[in-house]
């Protein structure tokens, strides 16, 4: 499978994440409606799964995985107030649930390490869309395509 990787040097990685997340804005009301529809089953669908890994030198790498990620909501144990989110994976956990809406950024991965961002996708159309959105602003100093 072909991969398109856009490597970007920037001092403001959060600005790039904000611009990419704007592409999800039209999709979010559908997710909210869907989660409201399935809330009685105690499941929740998120469009982004964020993972933070710490290196031995103390620095961290943040990964943003775009797709459909399932969680189960549980009450905290030991008499503590609040809820606990239990990650269930990418597959629908209960086949009786209605099919979820499509995520327009499904399959996109963003890796942030220091001032470098890698935007990875297997879809040429998604690569072009993100490249167009980011190059219309001056949020980065340098960008290159690894194909």
CB of 51 closer than 8 Å to CB of 63: yes
Please, are residues 76 and 84 in contact by the beta-carbon 8 Å criterion? yes
Predicted local distance difference test score (pLDDT) of residue 137: 61
Which residues in the chain show pLDDT less than 70? 1, 136-147
Residue 55 pLDDT: 86
Q: What's the CA angle centered on 138, arms 137 and 142, to 5 degrees?
A: 120
- Which helix (H) or strand (E) is 125 found in, with range? helix 124-135
* pTM for this predicted structure: 0.83
pLDDT of res. 71: 95
Query: Where do the structural domains in the chain lie, given as residue ranges?
Result: 13-113
Query: 3-class DSSP state for residue 115?
Result: coil
């Amino acid at each position: 499978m072909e991969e398109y990787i856009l490597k970007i040097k920037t001092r403001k990685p959060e600005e790039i994440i904000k611009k990419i997340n704007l592409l999800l804005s039209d999709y979010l009301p559908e997710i909210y409606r869907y989660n409201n529809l399935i809330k009685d089953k105690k499941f929740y669908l998120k469009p982004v799964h964020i993972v933070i890994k710490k290196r031995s030198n103390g620095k961290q790498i943040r990964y943003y995985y775009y797709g459909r990620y399932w969680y189960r909501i549980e009450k905290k144990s030991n008499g503590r107030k609040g809820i606990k989110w239990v990650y269930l994976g990418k597959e629908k956990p209960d086949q009786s649930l209605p099919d979820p809406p499509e995520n327009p950024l499904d399959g996109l991965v963003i890796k942030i390490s220091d001032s470098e961002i890698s935007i990875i996708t297997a879809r040429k159309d998604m690569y072009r869309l993100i490249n167009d959105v980011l190059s219309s602003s001056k949020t980065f100093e340098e960008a290159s395509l690894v194909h």
